[in-house]
Structure 1
């Protein structure tokens, strides 16, 4: 595959512009903010790099699409994919970092940090009983590498994580997995 014209967009397009052009004189790059993408950009490009399809996204002239994120769902959702267009994604160890990120928000909520901050601003003291994570119903959308890592981390806190995926296939370490169409059941208390 001979890729020559690469269209780069997404929230990191400016940072990537500073890193890439001088490194590959055999490639032409176009760095464009998502909101500024035009049909002409997609006519020009034979490769697209971004977190999701943006602007007047079109596969007509593309031969390669690269997702800067860990997943490609945004590119495939409700779209007929051309078999001659290569779709790739960024790989790396996102699971641990994202699991810690999610855990920080769950603990913040369980320990009532926002409520206590509000009471503090009001100069009031009203003790609240924190919630234990193991007593919460926690549903994770996506049972791939990242979702599994989040579930593994939460199990350390006594959580029985529930997963939602396209297939609904049982996947350790989830206590149950529902298909997207059954998500309401997964969320029911």
Structure 2
């Protein structure tokens, strides 16, 4: 007895998705056929028939999109879309969404960790520990300081609330005019320099888009206080690396905590490795399993909306990149 063909619309899933998560996706849309593909050959075989594709941003099959005439929606497991926005995807009629917000909590935690480590010069304790030396010293605290947050999306807004719990003054910069909870004053892009001059910490949580690339260059770093620290947890390239390197070497600013870098992986010969006033982490601010599960939850909620014909959330404007 032959099995009848499955004529339900096809949802293709690629990337680091577990068997349990595939079952979760299937439960969210019983009227859809869910197929997890693990190789490029499988993707090429099935994409032309697919209605939906959920994939890592860097694995969007650019060369195959011209054959994907039934494709109505592409979902990215990551929050940022910059790695996916090829001309082919921009021109394709498929709607684009991402898992924006799935890493907000751990990213805000990571920013606070870097801020605490920088304010207290935590590397000094670690060096003393390795040498078995008891070396108390006077250090700072976040209480009473001002943080300026560039980008008030999910992670920026979560960081604002957490910073208020540390008794900090919170300034924020965004294109919109809505001031999130925890933000004491909202600055438009035209007043970026003013916000920089008022901040003890400047934290970048904005996505990398044509509007934000190189947003912080030499003039901006010179506007910062010599006692201020720079922190980047979202995307490299928002700060010009050459200007940041000079600011750190020449003492325009006190130091930096950098999780997202202009070039990744950071090359072994990068001068940032050797700077004594810098704490580097390998774009590792989001947790692994928890963040991925929240991304699957976002997709499942949107998949239910798609099946019911409701508008999708977490839409990405292909022209602006966010």
TM tier, shorter chain?
0.5 to 0.7
Q: Does 111-120 or 178-187 show the bigger shift?
A: 178-187
- Separation in structure 1 between the aligned mates of residue 149 and residue 12 of structure 2, nearest angstrom: 33
Q: Partner residue of 1:5?
A: 10
Report the alpha carbon displacement of residue 25 of structure 1 after superposing the two structures with TM.
Answer: 7.7
| Equivalent of residue 74 in structure 1, options 63, 77, 82 | 82
Name the stretch that deviates more: 117-126 or 98-107: 98-107
- List runs of 5+ in structure 1 lacking aligned partners: none
2:156 maps to: 147
Partner of 2:111: 102
Output the TM-score relative to the length of structure 1.
Answer: 0.65
Give distance in 2, aligned partners of 1:177 and 1:76: 28
Query: Measured at CA, do residues 20 and 128 of structure 1 come closer, stay the same or move farther in structure 2, by a change above 3 Å?
Result: same
Report the Cα distance in structure 2 between the residues aligned to 1:129 and 1:3, rounded to whole angstroms: 66
Which sections of structure 2, spanning at least 5 residues, go unmatched? 1-6, 190-210, 225-322
Please list, as runs of the form range in 1=range in 2, the aligned pairs for 1:31-46 lying within 5 A after superposition: 31-32=37-38, 36-38=39-41, 40=44, 42-43=47-48, 45-46=50-51
Partners of 2:85 and 2:48 in 1: CA distance: 22
Task: Please report the RMSD computed on the Cα atoms of aligned residues, expressed in angstroms.
Answer: 3.9
1:121 and 1:15 map into 2 onto residues whose CA distance is 43
Summarize the Cα distance change of 1:74–1:120 in structure 2 as closer, same or farther, 3 Å threshold. same
How many pairs were matched up? 181
Does residue 1:158 correspond to 2:191, yes or no? no
Give the C-alpha shift of residue 66 in structure 1.
1.5
Are the counterparts in 2 of residues 5 and 28 from structure 1 also a CA contact under 8 Å?
A: yes
Using the TM superposition, give the Cα deviation of residue 91 of structure 1 relative to its aligned residue in structure 2, in angstroms.
6.7
Contact 1:162 1:176 in 2 (8 A): yes
- Offset from partner CA, 1:148-183 (integer Å, 9 cap, x none): 2312332443244454x5x4x566325535362532
* SS of residue in 2 equivalent to 1:133: coil
Deviations 1:55-90 (A, max 9, x none): 633543132111334x35336646462463122344
Aligned residue number for residue 27 of structure 1 = 33
